[in-house]
Amino acid sequence: MRRSVRRNLFSLAVAVATVVSAGAAAPTSTEAATTGAARGAGTAAKVPVAVGYGGAVSSVDADASAAGIEVLRKGGNAVDAAVATAAALGVTEPYSAGIGGGGYFVYYDAESRSVRTLDGRETAPRSADSGLFLGEDGQPIPFAEAVTSGLAVGVPGTPATWRSALDAWGSRSLATLLRPAERLARDGFTVDETFRAQTAANEARFRDFPDSAELFLPGGELPVVGSTLKNPDLARTYAELARKGVGTLYRGDLAKDVLRTVNEPPVDPASARVVRPGDLTGRDLRSYRAEFQAPTRTSYRGLGVYSMAPSSSGGTTVGEALNILENTDLTGADRAAYLHRYIEASRIAFADRGRWVGDPAFEDVPQRELLSQRYADSRACLIKDDAVLRSPLAPGDPRRPVPCAAGDKAAPTTYEGESTTHLTTADKWGNVVAYTLTIEQTGGSAITVPGRGFLLNNELTDFSFAPADPAVHDPNLPGPGKRPRSSMAPTIVLDGKSRPVLALGSPGGATIITTVLQTLTGVIDRGLPLVDAIAAPRASQRNQTTTELEPGLWNSPLRAELEAIGHGFRQNAEIGAATAVQLLPDGRVLAAAERVRRGGGAAMVVRPAG
């Protein structure tokens, strides 16, 4: 590792730890975890940063983080804590995650000093083909019809991910790890402003499905902030998973309920909504596997950046953008120059993502070439300090790189729902997990499995409905058993001795990639403390004519400086909701989360310092 980078990370870590240790007003994370776990009714406190010993958990929800801390305090490892936290998020963040969805699991093993990953992405039914979302006229069906349908539901991958992760790296049984979440579902959690707002955004859809309406619109009304929302059906489902194992979702009674719900969506007879049925079969469920695979790896400023390989585009796209920025001095650049370079690198990486990345079981993805420094250098020379690249930008050819070649046909970015959630854990042995999971857009398909207490995903809408240009191959068209392309980018950063220094990730659809990229460069290049890098106002360029800006940048003089050289912008109230863990040189661990986005996050450690 470069000496300056090592010194920078160390000084940042110590500075942040000192500030946090000095703040005694907030309850300690141990107190918050103990209280929340004991009462199980949304009493744990949200704190955006915590420093201490014995392990850490960071998620968007205090009760979920408390569930992970409970596991760590009882001797579980980072993998155990990640599963417990994820299960609790299925209770308190049911519109973003749950056993009806999927995700990507990145694990650092301290003993072998290596990074492993699990692809738990949902899969299309075997009957799916490239015309999955085309109508009888051969044209794409309306997007609104696709998202609220059985047609969009892929085979859930989350339960299989938990089983595979625990079998390979865990130290506790699934039954043990589901207990905090089961308790939370039974006793309830406290409704906050974010949960109420997300419910309101889905109210019309939920009312068309009686089980969703009964669960999320108690008494026929939006849940009241401060009230307790219980989910006894999910508590019983978790208890069944604990007794029978996750196989019951793939070949047991739960599987039958999922199939019936997907293929015969339980729509209110009074509803006028057109809800298309799906075509999942028992064979689709039985044949599902979470896939072990090698991570992507990029060297940046002497650090090893590891993330998810395809079917997610997160690792390749973040990695390519970092490679493009590798030979640029972002530390000495002013804020406008830094943002300009970051935006242009994102634009280029997304141009290549749209053309080359899909499910590698079906597509020839040039992953090694996309992540080569040679290819990045051939693309980096497109960036000028006083001009902006046109968008949409055409992809390059990573197998035959031509320096500064602009190309002529662009591959647009497909829509991805901005829901999803991310959690990060670390244990006292030095193991680390970055885990991003989802049911696609906020509220998923809006269809609750009757009597089971969880929503089904609408993940298949991440496929391209039709090729943007029939003359250009689209690697993200549907296919039988195919995984739709994702942007999830759970990431772990190692130093020159293969020891973890940072782990992070975010929700946000395609903005996940830019959120992770901006946070990484904020810490490594700009010298921001981790919690400040997470809180910094964000920009997101995804090979589109305009770049999205959060209000903190939209209302800043920086916008005018960037517009003066040709940038165009549109406003986005909120981009991403990152969580992270930093391993400090003195043996302490720092957990960090959002201060404000999604109502703030919950960073906790087992034993707080100071």
Question: Which residues are the active-site residues?
Answer: 420
* Listed residue (595, 589, 503) closest to 48, CA to CA: 595
Asked if residue 374 lies in contact with residue 301, where contact means CB atoms within 8 angstroms, the answer is no
Q: In terms of Cα–Cα distance, which of 125, 185, 120 is closest to 158?
A: 120
- Copy the structure tokens of residue 542: 């995804």
Phi and psi angles of residue 305, each rounded to the nearest 5 degrees, phi first: -105, 115
Triad 122, 127, 129: Cα angle to 5°? 85
Q: How far is CA 201 from CA 92, 439, 441, in A?
A: 17, 16, 11
How would DSSP label each residue in 242-273? HHH-THHHHHSHHHHHHHHHHHS----TT---
Beta bridge partner(s), residue 413 = none
- The span from the CA of 403 to the CA of 396, in Å, is 9
Report the greatest alpha carbon distance in the chain.
67
Nearest Cα residue to 490 out of 482, 480, 502: 502
Give CA–CA dist 317/491, Å, rounded: 12
Residue 459 to residue 509: CA distance in whole angstroms: 11
* Residue type at position 315: G
Residues 585-590: contacts with CB within 8 Å, 24+ apart?
Answer: 585/10, 585/13, 585/14, 586/14, 587/53, 588/17, 588/51, 588/52, 588/53, 589/51, 589/52, 589/53, 589/55, 589/56, 589/426, 590/13, 590/16, 590/17, 590/20, 590/49, 590/50, 590/51, 590/56, 590/530
Question: SS3 helix, strand, coil % of the chain, rounded to 5?
Answer: 40, 15, 45
Taking residue 336's Cβ as centre, other Cβ atoms within 10 Å add up to: 18
10 Å CB burial of residue 34 (0-12, 13-18, 19+) is: middle
Cα–Cα separations (whole angstroms), residue 517 to 3, 487, 533? 22, 12, 11
Query: Among candidates 145, 126, 96, which has minimal Cα distance to 465?
Result: 145
